[in-house]
Structure 1
Amino acid sequence: MRILVTGGSGELGREIRRVARHEVVACYNSVPVEGGVRVDVRRRDEVEAAVREVRPDAIIHTAYLQSDWVTTADGAANVAIAARGIRLVHVSSDALFSGKDSPYDEEAVPDPITPYGAAKAAAETAVRAVDPSAVIARTSLIVGGGRIERLVRALVEGGPGALYTDNIRCPIHVTDLANALLELLESGHTGIAHVGGADAVSRHELGQLIAVHEGLAPTKLPAGSNPSDIRLDSTKTQHLLKTHLRGVREFLTPSA
């Protein structure tokens, strides 16, 4: 099987490439990937050209840009249109929920309160309209790819910012997420799947766990407030998977 992965230079795209047992061709935009194809997902002609060139058996769409509606929403529509007839897994986000009715299972209706959440909700609508057989995999904060870890290290060293004590999410390890997406790709599942970790923690608690895991001082992490409880109920999806969707308290153990 040949898999085309958009956002192939990102932390999730890199991990999919690392763990996949199949041939993976990465699409990238600004950060080159060896053997990859440069594609701006905002341009439908470029996406369609890449699909014609690579001739994939399946596509995993991970590309987004939090601050750009066109990349996140229109880009997803462009990929879905280009992927017609090809197995598609679209990676979505818990950001499309407001946090007013937690926990959220696959039947929950998006009610975004941020521009990024609205873009992700629009992306889902486009993908479902173009390809009802696609998998829409909603996930949460991704740990293990480096981005959150870099933030924690910077905050411990006195950098600007804070981690919220009342913003609850279900973080997932990047390896678990990559394996789960590949399993869903190979399965007969269609529609929405929730792929979050087993533990619901605040952003501040997550930062503390990362700090302890890396041998840093968790007490140096500044705390802030931004109330939001967005817990993904991933029970249904976990029953479909061999991959164990670990909680952060399981994979963020103290360093030796």
Structure 2
Amino acid sequence: MKILVTGANGLLGQHLIRQLVEEGKFTIHATGKGASRLPYGSGNGVTYHNTDLTDFKKAQALVEKISPHIIIHAAALSQPNDCAADKTACWKTNVGATRALVKGAQKTKTYFIYLSTDFVFDGEEGPYDEHASPNPVNDYGESKLLGEEIVEMSGLHWAIVRTVLVYGEKVPGGRANFVLWVKEKLEAGEAIKVVNDQQRTPTYVEDLAKGIILVLMKHAKGVYHISGKELCTPYQLALMIAQLMNKDASMIQPVTAETFQEPARRPLKTGFIITKAVKELGYVPVKLEEGIRRVLHL
């Protein structure tokens, strides 16, 4: 079975491809910008394509050439501030590339799995299940919601996997996620300010990858919320990290989102209710403390 994974060089992409390789059932095609950061060659059943997915014709042609059974579209411009600063890049990456891949998938009749975000919600009534009505408050959320709509209206067999605040071990060339950022600051003895007026259900990247594989194995259709179970603020998460590392928690100062005056507004309370994924997919995430221990090698 041939699978095309976009965003292969990112945190999720690298962990997902490793798990797919370990399954031993797939021929994997991976796309990313620039050189491959994957530790696999063609001998592992992984073929890498350096492709700019915002080039509509190239993205569509790649799908038609590979003719995959499944596309897992994980590539995105996922930093809300970056999306606010460059709206054109945001929409070309999150909407245009999705439209191009869907166009190719319609010709190859490919099963399409689209990665989305809790930021499609406004944060007024979280945590959310799959029946909640989206209402994004920033460009990132708006672009991802439009991507969802493109997939839903494609006529393809599709699944949308939404997730929240993904953390995990750093991958080659990847940027630090929240857990690693806190770890690095605490190890350096630097004081940090962390928001305490937003709530999320943090997601261990290994769990997210497993959830996606459960979706594809069951050929599931519809929207699935894949995250951790435990709701917390980033400040509370940072305190847990400090405690597990035996570091001085007084170095972490709780603040509100207004402290940073970021260009992109964040929803206050998101997080997910994952009952559907648990019942229909058999998805079981690790506890938050266990996920952090694994990332910190504790």
TM-score, length-scaled by structure 1 = 0.91
1:161-182 Cα shifts (integer Å, max 9, x gaps): 6321121001111111101101
- 1:236-255 correspondence to structure 2 within 5 Å: 236-253=276-293
Quick one: distance in 1 between partners of 2:157 and 2:221? 5
Which residue number corresponds to residue 14 of structure 1?
Answer: 14
Quick one: distance in 1 between partners of 2:34 and 2:239? 32
Identity of aligned residues (%): 25
Which residue number corresponds to residue 30 of structure 2?
Answer: 26
Quick one: distance in 1 between partners of 2:14 and 2:238? 23
Quick one: distance in 2 between partners of 1:247 and 1:198? 7
Range with bigger deviation, 186-195 or 168-177: 186-195
| CA shift in 2, pair 1:54/1:215, >3 Å | farther
1:112 matches 2:136: yes
Q: Offset of 1:72 from its aligned partner?
A: 1.2
1:151 matches 2:155: no
AA aligned opposite 2:17: R
| CA shift in 2, pair 1:70/1:108, >3 Å | same
Say which SS state the counterpart of residue 121 (structure 1) adopts: helix
Quick one: distance in 2 between partners of 1:161 and 1:222? 6
- 1:72 and 1:120 in contact (8 A); partners too: yes
Say which SS state the counterpart of residue 197 (structure 1) adopts: coil
| CA shift in 2, pair 1:218/1:160, >3 Å | closer
- 1:27 and 1:38 in contact (8 A); partners too: yes
Quick one: distance in 1 between partners of 2:234 and 2:224? 23
TM-score, length-scaled by structure 2 = 0.79
- 1:155 and 1:220 in contact (8 A); partners too: no
Which residue number corresponds to residue 263 of structure 2?
Answer: none
- 1:202-213 correspondence to structure 2 within 5 Å: 202-213=233-244
Quick one: distance in 2 between partners of 1:225 and 1:55? 48
Say which structure is richer in helix. Answer: 2
RMSD of the alignment, in Å?
2.2
Q: Offset of 1:130 from its aligned partner?
A: 1.3
- 1:80 and 1:131 in contact (8 A); partners too: no
- 2:278 and 2:284 in contact (8 A); partners too: yes
Q: Offset of 1:31 from its aligned partner?
A: 4.4
1:39-96 Cα shifts (integer Å, max 9, x gaps): 2121221112222332321110000013222211222222222222101110000011
Which residue number corresponds to residue 73 of structure 1?
Answer: 95
- 1:139 and 1:196 in contact (8 A); partners too: yes
| CA shift in 2, pair 1:209/1:46, >3 Å | farther
Quick one: distance in 2 between partners of 1:11 and 1:255? 17
Quick one: distance in 1 between partners of 2:120 and 2:5? 22
- 2:195 and 2:235 in contact (8 A); partners too: yes
* Aligned residues between the structures: 256
- 1:42 and 1:75 in contact (8 A); partners too: yes
- 1:11-160 correspondence to structure 2 within 5 Å: 11-20=11-20, 21=23, 22-33=26-37, 35-66=47-78, 67=83, 68-84=90-106, 85-131=109-155, 133-146=157-170, 147-156=177-186, 157=188
Quick one: distance in 2 between partners of 1:245 and 1:77? 31
Which residue number corresponds to residue 177 of structure 1?
Answer: 208
Quick one: distance in 1 between partners of 2:61 and 2:3? 15
| CA shift in 2, pair 1:205/1:133, >3 Å | same
Range with bigger deviation, 55-64 or 42-51: 42-51
Say which SS state the counterpart of residue 45 (structure 1) adopts: helix
| CA shift in 2, pair 1:3/1:160, >3 Å | farther
- 1:164 and 1:224 in contact (8 A); partners too: yes
Q: Offset of 1:19 from its aligned partner?
A: 0.7
